[in-house]
Amino acid sequence: MKDFPIPVVSIGPGSQIEDDVLDYMAMPQGMETYRAPVLPEPEEIAARVGAHQALRAALVELEAVCQGSANRSVDLNHLSAPDRTLINQVLGEGEVSAIVKAAADGQVELVVQESVFAGVWRVIQSVGGVVVSDFLELGAVPEILTNTAQSDVWDSVPRWSGALPPNVQNAPSLLEEIEDQWRTWTVGQPPHVVNLTLLPMSDEDIGFLDHHLGTGRVLILSRGYGNCRITNTCTPHCWRVVYYNSQDLVILNTVEVTGIPEVALAAPEDLDDSYARLKEVLEWVEHA
């Protein structure tokens, strides 16, 4: 038998030698979802009258917000330690948290934590490490975050003159684009997003950009899908929004011109859903 003149080549997965291996960036692996709060035994709940009243008031205020009202709040300063413990157990911790630093020394002055019920926020203010205010705020986002961002805005926009620093090439043109947007942006307009990840930006470009936008006192962290770090700038309506994967590598780096980035907001449908779930939990608590 003669040799076959054409060599037989195998085909299919694994049959070919690959010199180069594609190295894909790891994407976030988990997503935060609603988990029902773990509540104490009924006999422990029954005596917590103050907590019952606060939760009932929160449900009433949340219903008003769902119907179109501005943010509402419920004071928790008067509650006893056991009542606060029950409040903490019922509300739990959601995917969004924030801090506001004091203007003078940069110490944390205010802590915000969204509960497992989207749009139900715990807001704790302290002075010199002493808590002076503790309340629930019902709404898309606590007003203190947007109010602080507005107060952080510089009186005048810094301008660069002379030769640019080494390796700074694209940041100046981006600053012009961003200024065109924030000068004309008004409430109700969709956000204008500048995707720095897709642009040829050097480290020096990023530093130059951040220096001229400024850094404010608001820091928001959203853990819905991976991590998202949001900081306000000292430029009107401008936010720095950076997304990280589960290995803490940057996967999306942006500047958003908007009132506050949507990733930090509780959507109207989230508020409606929170009202229904909080009502169910409150009914169980009061029945106990």
User: What domains, with CATH codes, occur in the chain?
Assistant: 37-95+115-140+266-288 (3.30.1370.140), 141-160+167-265 (3.30.1370.140)
Residue with tokens 């422990």: 44
What Rg value do the Cα atoms of the chain yield, rounded? Answer: 25
CA atoms within 13 A on the CB side of 139: 18
Amino acid found at 247: Q
Cα–Cα distance for residue pair 77/177, rounded to 1 Å: 46
For residues 153 and 234, the answer to whether their CB atoms sit within 8 Å is yes
| Non-local CB neighbours of 270 within 8 Å, separated by 6+ positions | 118, 119
Cα 233–chain centre separation: 15
C-beta neighbour count of 134 within 10 angstroms: 18
Alpha carbon distance 176, 148 (integer Å) = 25
pLDDT score at 42: 62
Distance CA 56, CA 242 (A): 37
Q: What is the DSSP letter of 198?
A: G
Question: CA-CA distance, 234 to 149, in Å (whole number)?
Answer: 8
Q: What are phi and psi of 255, to 5 degrees?
A: -115, 130
pLDDT of residue 22: 45
Cα torsion 287, 40, 49, 118: sign: negative
Per residue of the chain (288 residues), what is the pLDDT tens digit?
Answer: 555 454 554 555 555 555 554 454 455 555 555 565 666 666 667 678 899 999 999 999 999 999 999 999 999 999 999 899 999 999 999 999 999 998 766 567 899 999 999 999 999 998 877 888 999 999 999 999 999 999 999 999 888 888 999 999 999 999 999 999 999 999 999 999 999 999 999 999 999 999 999 999 999 999 876 799 999 999 999 999 999 987 888 999 999 999 999 999 999 999 999 999 999 988 887 776
- The edge-to-edge listing of strands for the beta sheet with 238-244 is 72-75, 130-138, 120-127, 108-114, 96-101, 218-222, 227-232, 238-244, 250-257, 192-195
Say which residue the tokens 């050097």 belong to: 202
> Cα separation of 244 and 229, whole Å?
8
Rounded to whole angstroms, how far apart are CA atoms 219 and 229?
A: 7
